[in-house]
Each structure stands twice: as C-alpha cells, then as structure tokens.
Structure 1
Amino acid sequence: MVALKKWKVDELLAIDKAGLLNPEKRVELIEGELYEMPIGENHASILMRLNSILVPQFAGRALVNIQNPLRLGEFGLPQPDLALLEPSPDFYAQRHPEPSNVYLLIEIADSTLKYDQEVKLPSYARNGVREVWIVDVAAGQTLVYRNPQGSGYQTLEVVPAGQPIHPSAFPEDAILPL
C-alpha cells in the first residue's frame, strides 16, 4: 500500500502563495487531505440569498465570512460556505479564523451531503466548532448540529424548510436557511 502525503496548513498556504494552485479550482484541506469542491447554481443561489440576509442582520455583531478558510489545527483548512465570526478589528488580516472565533458555520449541501456529514462535520466537531448547520437542499431541510464532543455532536435538530432557526450565539435572531 502506498501512503499518501498528509498535507499541513502551512504547506498548503506556501504552495498557494507561490501561485502553484489553480485559482479556478476551489480546494480545501481536511485532516491533511486535499479535496476539490465544485459549486453548482442552486448552491450558489442559496449562498447569495443567505449572505444578503445575514450581512445586515448581524452588522456590528458578527462578520459574515463566505467560502473563506477556517484554520483547524495543523492539518485543516476547510472553506465552509458561510461562517458567522467574532468581529476582528483587522478582519483576520494576520491569520485565518479558528474554531474559537466561529459563532455559527453553515454548509450548503446540494450534491455534497455525504461529504459534509462524513468528512467535514467530524473534523469540525474534533476541532470544537460549536454549531454547524448543513442545509440539505434535496430534502428541503436544515440539519442543526450543536455541542461538539469527540468527532460528533451531542444534539441534532432537523428543521424543515420555512421554519426559522435561532443560532445559539444569537438566540433572539431567526434565520430561514431554506
């Protein structure tokens, strides 16, 4: 059996800085493995709609981060679809945000539900991301994961389309992902 190289975040960042990654390809690092992430029209539409809702709703209270890296230790640099982050005066210019900076992370699963649940979600839990929503487009529902423990979450709530969800960090706010 041939062992594959386990990539480190710093290595990937150096390769990117050197211009060796194809800028037209979206890649993310999960547990030392590189994954290419395509984005379909339905996925892009939901992301744009959420962005247009969340930016004004959380202005001054949280930063809305769209498909930008989140540093998960030495071997993780995923690009979640959307993250609500703690405000930072420099907008994270000196470093990528880390799990302690994340109020809420949202993944939109148009064709990636299995990948989001079996690859990304356990990594988010292991690294202490407090709350993750997976918008399951095909099923018309949002899976709300809270309270990470080990490589999973202690609570899962399935919320049908059209029903508001209240993020734990902002219980007075309601969001309609679908």
Structure 2
Amino acid sequence: PDGLQLAEELPETILTPTTKSDTGHDIELSKGEALERGLVSEEEWRILEEATYRLYDFYRDEASRHGLIIPDFKIEYGRVDGELIQIDEPPTHDSARLWSKKHYRTGERQEAHSLDKEFLRDFLMRIGYTGEGPPPSLPPLLVEEVSKRCVGSYKVLTGQAAVDELNLMSVEEVLAKLARP
C-alpha cells in the first residue's frame, strides 16, 4: 500500500501462493493458474486459503506471547494418499521472519534482533556477496551469531529464553569486531 514504511505492519494479511521450480526460486501462482493446471479444485483452494490464514493467526499469536513478531512466513502443503496436509515445518528461523517485539521500530531494518536468516543475508549483502558465484567463507564470529539465532528461535518460541538473554550482536557489531586487528 502507498505510504507504507519499512517493516510497518500491513493493514491486512496477504496470501502470495507459489509453486516449486525445478531450479531457482519458487514461482508465484494465482488461483486461476492453480485451478487451470489442476493442482487443486476450487474447494481445495478455499480450504488451503482458510487454513493458511488460520495458521498464520495462530503462529503469529503464539510468537507474540513469547515476545516475537512474525511479519511473514512460508507454509507448504502437499498430498498424502490424496489428502491435503501441511508438509513443511511451522515457522522457524529458516521459513519466517522472526522479529523482537521489544526492539521493533517501524521504518527501520529489524535484523539486529531478529532470529531468522535475514541476519546472514544482511551480512552477505554488506560484504558485497550477491548470490552469484561461490559463497565466501564465513568467519567463526558470524557462524556463532547465526547459530545463536537458530537455536535462539527455538528457545524463544518454546518459552525457554527471551530474546535479550541471547546477547545478539548486530551486523554492524560483527563487522566492527572482524575489522579489528
């Protein structure tokens, strides 16, 4: 929507269906395309759409109880014996953005206190890696920070820790420490 700031909550939840690609990123898929390709029936589309909204609300509320914001996540469905089921993990550091409610600021990037892979993406972007060519080797300090976020997402979502107990460093702090002789 017009006038939206960085990291601002959307006025309503948006569903952006995709399908797997043989290579590269997932491919956006409209309802019409899904029906035309015979991936789902009209009734199955309705069921999946309703289930996705309900799951998002549930996961968002659970995360909020533990001091996190889930602005978006991916959920995958498949079939087992013809029945539609959720086939992927619930929101994790790999499938969702997980932001700290305490440190959340509209108009700002959230990576400093996020418990997701955006921290690593931000680091790679800042050192100039665009995803082309072989990835750079990762310094142990960065691996430690990424690990804290992976394990931390589990601990925070299950109520075993609070975000502030994880002692996270921002990308700026990691880069500054790495620049020191």
The answer, yes or no, to whether TM exceeds 0.5 is: no
* Greater C-alpha radius of gyration: 2
Instruction: Compare the two structures and name the one with the higher helix fraction.
Output: 2
Larger RCO: 1 or 2 (CA < 8 Å, sep 6+): 2
TM-score normalised over the length of structure 1: 0.27
Q: Compare the two structures and name the one with the higher strand fraction.
A: 1
Query: Structure 2 length as normaliser, TM-score?
Result: 0.27
